[in-house]
Chain A
Amino acid sequence: MPQLWTEKYRPKKVAEVVGNQDSVKAFLEWMKSWEIGNPAKKAALLYGPAGVGKTSLVLAYGREYGYDVVEVNASDWRNEEKMKAVVGESSQYASLDGYSKKIILVDEVDGIAGREDAGGISALRKIINETRVPIVMVANNPWDQKLAPIREQSVMIEFKRLSKTAITKRLKEICEREGIKVPDDVLSKLAERSEGDLRSAIMDLQAVAAGKNTLTEKDLEVLGERNRVKEIFEALRYIFYAKSIRGARAAIEGLELEPQAIYTWILDNAPTQITEPDELAQAFDLLARADIYFARIEKLQMWRLMKYAIPMMTGGVAVARRTPPKGFQKFTFPHKIRLFQQYKNEREIRQSIAWKIASKLHLSSYKAGKEMLPYIGFIISRSDKSKPRIVEYFEFTDEEVGYLKKIYGGVEEKKEEIKEVKVKKPVKHSRGKS
């Protein structure tokens, strides 16, 4: 089994880390404060999307400056006891050989934010207070309320998605080292589909290029869509369960989605996550406000209004949701997207019917669909004949008649049944309009 290129080409020195130069600089400064012995904060929290070099930076630094990196991740420890045993011990002593220096790397720290291992967080907090060695934590989303105490103790260093150019450049270096000839535009395609995630880009490159001398665009066709949906689900969880507007707002920062796209997800998940009618009404009030901001942004090209829309749509649902849901409600794809696919056929049939009515009755197709179609559907559905003349008159196809009967046919009512239909007689009121 050949080595994974993601490991083989992990940066050996800090200078080889791609992109995020400000973050790298912040990290170096923090480590320097340890070197001279008076760190203002004993821990650092590196956060940002996957595959942008957070862990790589720590590993490269350790290697270059002679630190042992003791790595633990969320799967290694969950509770207080384990935390103390593994991390606590390690933080009090120098390395085994008593010579080299040490960094503790706590990966996936947001993974211990769950309710069941809250003890783990408080233990970690204590460990940070007492540590004698630098503790570096890594997270994709650090804004969970549970992590608040740790955030206060840490230097927060944000990592952003990498630019397409930076990724392309790195892929090119790897290809040269592997002796593969790849046109720039193919690399650029690979970089693009990685959406700023260098690790996934290198994975893809190895998958399609390993053992080849050249690579064409056609070779990329075997690559499947990498699933970024997971990220949005995670973000939704942070949004709906955030304790502050700031926290909810921060949850969408890492997502490479337009705020309006995220909005659709929030909108359609709100009714399942918020079950109290009062709270849902409040959430929708705020979502409707956000919608108005979007409209104004669009109309006036006033992009700075976005900063009002975002707290409305993120903080809005978080603040409105006060009652915990009964059991776990999973997040779903926006219903609207499904609806469009599901009803495409129906929409087309309906439109075709409306056009036929419009052309016969001197109406716009819109009015025909609204004012005439339901009545005609009703009348056709109640006809004794299998093909009443009105069908011929409008030249409806069998499919169209089938649709009308399906929608307006309903139950076959008899006169007696009509009498039982509950329709409240309206209170007489005068018509206000002309």
Chain B
Amino acid sequence: MSLETVTTLPWVEKYRPKTLNDVVNQEEVITSLKNILKTKAVPHMLFAGPPGVGKTATAHAFARDLYGPNYIEDGWFVEINASDERGIQTIRDKVKMFARQIPMGGEVGFKILLLDESDQLTDDAQHAFRRVMEQYSSTCRFILAANYSNRIIEPIQSRCAVFRFRPLLKKDIIGRIKWIAEQEKLEVDDAALETIYEFCEGDMRRAINTLQAAASISRKIDEKTVYYILGYVSRGEIRKILELAMSGNFIQARDELRKLIYVQGLAGSDIVSAIYRELFYLDLSEEDKLELIDLLGEVDYRMAEGGTEEVQLMAFLARLAAKSKKVNVGR
């Protein structure tokens, strides 16, 4: 039933832009980067923009265009994810290891280090990193990728050329999905495309993943298939928790919530965002929804203030349960 190619590679990898020409909807950025390529005078760069718009892919494509297809194997390019290695010491050690030597040959006299999710670094780590940037700039140039440039301290921003990546437009996402569908010989109808777009929130990665998951059950993809995937994979767990709470199974809802937090390791802020998305579709009066949105905002703020995620979220679920009980009685 499933196509061979569906289970070979993740499509986000397969269809990752290989060269700067493949990057979608970032014309200004791409033009500037191409100019830099001509002169080979590469500054430190900060790529800022929402998730899934191609920051990491652009960094890779840039390096490939600069050093050739073996840019990683030949040791010119390395990527560190700041959210996995928050300690500045690990980063420094890695940077030193990487920047100490320049590979033989090649016309470019420096390497490139991509520091992904660099807005995850603490202020202290950023200040330390700033010195690292100066110390090693003769042998190594840095590309910092971040969702929010305002979380990057000014001294770092001032040492970087800042490139703003635009959110992807509807036509970009639908166009790309259509194109991939053609390559994979899928039949995707318009309603399905609309639905994929509606729920991916501008994140190309999410859109491609949804398409691939849908293709794993059928090569003809309609709206229902997409909803099935969304219900099953992307939104399934949160929706299940909300439904449990609303049907009076608070304890089960709590247990599922805890699994999300402690087994899957999901951050409270991500759970809040997911609940937020679902809230509008719940079977509640509009007044109750507003009240719950307000409460969810309070939960969000309290978690930032240091409140325990599970406790604050449980308080939300308990309130949701109380609201839906009223609805049931009222009918």
| Residues in chain A within 8 A of chain B (CB atoms) | 267, 271-272, 277-278, 280-281, 283-285, 287-288, 291-292, 294-296, 298-299, 335-336, 339-340, 343, 346-347, 350-351, 358, 360-367, 369-372, 374-376, 378-380, 382-385, 388-390, 393, 408, 410, 413, 415, 418-419, 421, 423-429, 431, 433-434
A selection of 12 A-B contacts at a CB cut-off of 8 Å is: A277-B248, A291-B307, A339-B258, A360-B10, A362-B60, A364-B81, A364-B83, A365-B81, A375-B213, A418-B228, A423-B230, A426-B280
Once bound together, how far apart are the Cα atoms of A384 and B210, in whole Å? 19
B2: chain A residues within 8 A (beta carbon): 382-384
Once bound together, how far apart are the Cα atoms of A382 and B51, in whole Å? 28
Q: Is the CB of A427 within 8 A of B281?
A: yes
Max chain B CB contacts within 10 Å: which of A281, A335, A374? Answer: A281
**How distant is A275 from chain B, measured CB to nearest CB, in Å?**
9
**How distant is A364 from chain B, measured CB to nearest CB, in Å?**
4
Identify which of residues 66-98 in chain B touch chain A, using a CB-to-CB cut-off of 8 Å.
79, 81-84
Among B124-132, B180-188, B319-327, the one that faces the other chain is B319-327
Given A271-B254, A379-B212, decide whether A431 and B202 contact each other with a Cβ distance below 8 A. yes
**How distant is B234 from chain A, measured CB to nearest CB, in Å?**
7
A350: chain B residues within 8 A (beta carbon): 263-265
Identify which of residues 210-230 in chain B touch chain A, using a CB-to-CB cut-off of 8 Å.
210, 212-213, 216-218, 224-225, 227-230
**How distant is B311 from chain A, measured CB to nearest CB, in Å?**
4
Closest to A387 in B: B7
Closest to A346 in B: B263
In the complex, whether B300 has a CB less than 8 A from a CB of chain A is: no
Q: Is the CB of A284 within 8 A of B318?
A: yes
Once bound together, how far apart are the Cα atoms of A368 and B240, in whole Å? 22
Max chain A CB contacts within 10 Å: which of B234, B264, B267? Answer: B264
Given A281-B322, A284-B314, decide whether A371 and B7 contact each other with a Cβ distance below 8 A. no
Q: Is the CB of A421 within 8 A of B228?
A: yes
Given A343-B262, A390-B9, decide whether A364 and B231 contact each other with a Cβ distance below 8 A. no
A393: chain B residues within 8 A (beta carbon): 8-10
**How distant is A358 from chain B, measured CB to nearest CB, in Å?**
7
Q: Contact string, B294-312, partner A, CB cutoff 8 A, digits 1/0?
A: 0000000010011110111
B270: chain A residues within 8 A (beta carbon): 370
Q: Is the CB of A336 within 8 A of B258?
A: yes
Q: Is the CB of B13 within 8 A of A379?
A: no
Q: Is the CB of B315 within 8 A of A278?
A: no
B205: chain A residues within 8 A (beta carbon): 371-372
What is the interface of chain A mostly: helix, strand, loop, or mixed? helix
**How distant is B226 from chain A, measured CB to nearest CB, in Å?**
9
B265: chain A residues within 8 A (beta carbon): 347, 350-351, 366, 369
In the complex, whether B64 has a CB less than 8 A from a CB of chain A is: no
B315: chain A residues within 8 A (beta carbon): 281, 284-285, 287-288
A385: chain B residues within 8 A (beta carbon): 7
B202: chain A residues within 8 A (beta carbon): 431, 434
Once bound together, how far apart are the Cα atoms of A361 and B151, in whole Å? 24
Q: Is the CB of A376 within 8 A of B10?
A: yes
Once bound together, how far apart are the Cα atoms of A93 and B254, in whole Å? 60
Which listed residue (A272, A296, A299, A389) contacts B7, Cβ 8 A?
A389
In the complex, whether B36 has a CB less than 8 A from a CB of chain A is: no
Q: Is the CB of B233 within 8 A of A389?
A: no
In the complex, whether B290 has a CB less than 8 A from a CB of chain A is: no
Q: Is the CB of B263 within 8 A of A347?
A: yes
Given A340-B262, A343-B259, A378-B233, decide whether A418 and B225 contact each other with a Cβ distance below 8 A. yes
Q: Is the CB of A291 within 8 A of B322?
A: no
Q: Contact string, B247-267, partner A, CB cutoff 8 A, digits 1/0?
A: 010110011001100111111
Q: How many A-B residue pairs have CB under 8 A?
A: 206
B306: chain A residues within 8 A (beta carbon): 292, 295-296, 298-299
**How distant is A271 from chain B, measured CB to nearest CB, in Å?**
5
A339: chain B residues within 8 A (beta carbon): 255, 258-259, 262
Q: Contact string, B191-211, partner A, CB cutoff 8 A, digits 1/0?
A: 000000010011001100110
Q: Is the CB of B79 within 8 A of A367?
A: no
Once bound together, how far apart are the Cα atoms of A328 and B265, in whole Å? 35
Task: For the complex, count residues of B whose C-beta is within 8 A of A.
Answer: 76
B229: chain A residues within 8 A (beta carbon): 378
Q: Is the CB of A423 within 8 A of B231?
A: yes
Closest to A366 in B: B83
Closest to A292 in B: B307
**How distant is B56 from chain A, measured CB to nearest CB, in Å?**
5
Closest to A388 in B: B7
Given A378-B233, A388-B8, decide whether A370 and B266 contact each other with a Cβ distance below 8 A. yes
Q: Is the CB of A426 within 8 A of B10?
A: no
Closest to B227 in A: A423
**How distant is A228 from chain B, measured CB to nearest CB, in Å?**
25
Once bound together, how far apart are the Cα atoms of A367 and B311, in whole Å? 24
Once bound together, how far apart are the Cα atoms of A272 and B218, in whole Å? 44
A283: chain B residues within 8 A (beta carbon): 318
Once bound together, how far apart are the Cα atoms of A161 and B265, in whole Å? 40
Q: Is the CB of A366 within 8 A of B267?
A: yes
A351: chain B residues within 8 A (beta carbon): 265
Q: Is the CB of B213 within 8 A of A291?
A: no
Once bound together, how far apart are the Cα atoms of A267 and B258, in whole Å? 13
Closest to B303 in A: A295
B84: chain A residues within 8 A (beta carbon): 358, 364-366
Closest to B262 in A: A339
Once bound together, how far apart are the Cα atoms of A58 and B319, in whole Å? 51
Given A372-B10, A379-B213, decide whether A288 and B302 contact each other with a Cβ distance below 8 A. yes
Which listed residue (A295, A369, A428) contacts B264, Cβ 8 A?
A369
Q: Is the CB of B79 within 8 A of A362?
A: yes
B9: chain A residues within 8 A (beta carbon): 389-390, 393
Once bound together, how far apart are the Cα atoms of A343 and B263, in whole Å? 7
Q: Is the CB of B321 within 8 A of A280?
A: yes
Given A339-B255, A375-B213, A418-B228, decide whether A380 and B7 contact each other with a Cβ distance below 8 A. yes
In the complex, whether B12 has a CB less than 8 A from a CB of chain A is: yes
Once bound together, how far apart are the Cα atoms of A421 and B106, in whole Å? 57
In the complex, whether B41 has a CB less than 8 A from a CB of chain A is: no
**How distant is B195 from chain A, measured CB to nearest CB, in Å?**
9
A383: chain B residues within 8 A (beta carbon): 2, 6-7, 216
In the complex, whether B15 has a CB less than 8 A from a CB of chain A is: no
Q: Is the CB of A277 within 8 A of B322?
A: yes
Given A295-B305, A415-B218, A421-B231, decide whether A361 and B266 contact each other with a Cβ distance below 8 A. no
Once bound together, how far apart are the Cα atoms of A194 and B22, in whole Å? 71
B318: chain A residues within 8 A (beta carbon): 277, 280-281, 283-285
Q: Is the CB of B322 within 8 A of A379?
A: no
Q: Is the CB of A378 within 8 A of B213?
A: yes
**How distant is A290 from chain B, measured CB to nearest CB, in Å?**
8
Across the A-B interface, give the 5 residue pairs with the lowest CB-CB distance, nearest first: A295-B306, A388-B7, A288-B315, A364-B83, A281-B322
